[in-house]
Amino acid sequence: MRKTARESGVLVKAYAGTTGVILAMNVDNDRRQGLLGFAIERRDSQDGSEKWLSGRLNFPGKFYKPGMLMPTKAAPIQKFRWSDYGVEPGGGYLYKVYPVYGTPEAPKLEPGPTVNVKTASASGKEHCVLFNRAAAASQAFSKKFPETARAMSRARRMRSVFHPPTEALNWLSRGMLEQILNFIERAANDTWALDIAIYEYELHEIVETVKMMRDKGAQIRVVYHAKPGDEQTEENEHNLTGLPDSIKRPRITSKICHHKFMVLSKLVRGVRRPQAVLTGSTNFTENGVYRQANVVHIVEQEGMAQQYLNLFEELWRHHDKPAAARKYINENNKLTDSQLVLAGFSPRSGGDDLKFFVHTIQAAKRDVLFCTAFDLYDDIEQALVGNPHDAILRYGLQNTRSKITGYHADQTAKFVATAMLSSGLEGWLKESKHGQRGNILIHTKIIIVDFTSKSPVVISGSHNLSKSASAGNDENFLVVRGDTDVADCYGCELMRLYDHYRFRFQMAERRRKRGPWLALKPDDRWTNAYFGKSRLKTADRLLFAGEAV
Asked whether the predicted pLDDT for residue 336 surpasses 90, the reply is yes
pLDDT for the residue 418: 47
At residue 547 the predicted structure's pLDDT band, cuts being 50, 70 and 90, is confident
What's the CA gap between 33 and 512, in Å, rounded? Answer: 36
In angstroms, what CA-CA distances link 84 with 52, 369, 452, 506?
11, 19, 18, 20
**What is the identity of the amino acid at 101?**
Y
- Does the pLDDT value for residue 438 go beyond 80? no
pLDDT-wise least confident of 56-70, 201-215, 228-242, 367-381: 56-70
User: By the 8 A CB rule, do 58 and 64 touch?
Assistant: yes
Residue ranges covered by each domain of the chain: 2-121+527-544, 127-501
CA 360 to mean position of chain CA atoms: 19
**Which CATH architecture is the domain 2-121+527-544 placed in?**
Sandwich (2.60)
Using alpha carbons, select from 165, 202, 159 the residue that is nearest to residue 180: 202
Rounded distance between C-alpha atoms, residue 226 and residue 234, angstroms: 8
- Please report, in angstroms and rounded to a whole number, the separation of the first and last CA atoms in the chain: 23
Neighbours of 186 (CB within 10 A): 16
Q: Are 259 and 198 in contact (CB under 8 A)?
A: yes
Beta bridge partners, 131, equal: 295
Q: What is the pLDDT of residues 154-212, one digit of tens each?
A: 877 787 878 889 999 999 999 999 999 999 999 999 999 999 999 999 999 999 999 99
pLDDT for 152: 83
For the chain, the average pLDDT equals 89
Q: Residue length, the chain?
A: 549
Output the 3-class SS for 161-216: CCCCCHHHHHHHHCCHHHHHHHHHHCCCCCCEEEEEEECCECCHHHHHHHHHHHHC
Of the two residues 132 and 389, the one the predictor is more confident about is 132
Between 376 and 328, the more confident residue is: 328
For 508-516, the CB contacts below 8 A with 24+ separation are 508/419
Whether pTM > 0.75 for this model: the answer is yes
- Cα 413 to Cα 32, 410, 416, 502, 514: the distances in Å are 26, 6, 10, 11, 20
- Give SS3 for 283: coil
Superfamily of domain 127-501 in CATH is Endonuclease Chain A (3.30.870.10)
Residue 422: the pLDDT is 46
Q: Which residues neighbour 538 within 8 Å (Cβ) at sequence distance 6 or greater?
A: 529, 530, 531, 532
Which of 208, 186, 398, 188 lies closest to 298, judged by CA? Answer: 186
pLDDT at 430 over 90: no
| 239, 201 Cβ separation under 8 angstroms | yes
pLDDT classification of 340: cutoffs 50, 70, 90: very high
The stretch 123-132 carries a mean pLDDT of: 91
Widest CA span in the chain: 75
**What b/e readout covers 387-426, taking b as 16+ CB neighbours within 10 angstroms?**
eeeeebbbbbbbbbeeebbbbbbbbeebbebbeeeebbbb
d(CA 176, CA 37): 36
Burial readout 357-381 (b: 16 or more C-beta within 10 A, e: otherwise): bbebbeebebbbbbbbbbbbbebbb
Residue 507 predicted with pLDDT over 60: yes
pLDDT digits (tens, 9 = 90+) for 441-465: 788 999 999 999 999 999 999 999 9
What pLDDT was estimated at residue 221?
98
Q: Which residues of 204-214 are buried (b: 16+ CB within 10 A; e: fewer)?
A: ebbbebbeebb
How large is the average pLDDT for residues 348-360?
Answer: 97
> Among 134-138, 167-171, 235-239, 312-316, which is the least confidently predicted range?
134-138
- Per CATH, 2-121+527-544 and 127-501 having the same topology is answered no
What pLDDT digit, counting tens, does each position of 141-158 carry? 888 999 998 888 887 778
3-state secondary structure of 532: coil
**For the range 68-75, what are the long-range contacts, defined as Cβ-Cβ under 8 Å and sequence gap of 24 or more?**
71/39, 72/37, 72/38, 72/39, 72/40, 73/39, 73/41, 73/98, 73/100, 73/107, 73/109, 74/107, 75/520
pLDDT at position 429:
56
Q: What is the mean pLDDT of residues 472-484?
A: 97
Three-state DSSP at 26 gives strand
Q: What is the pLDDT of residue 437?
A: 45
Using an 8 Å Cβ cutoff, are 504 and 497 in contact? no
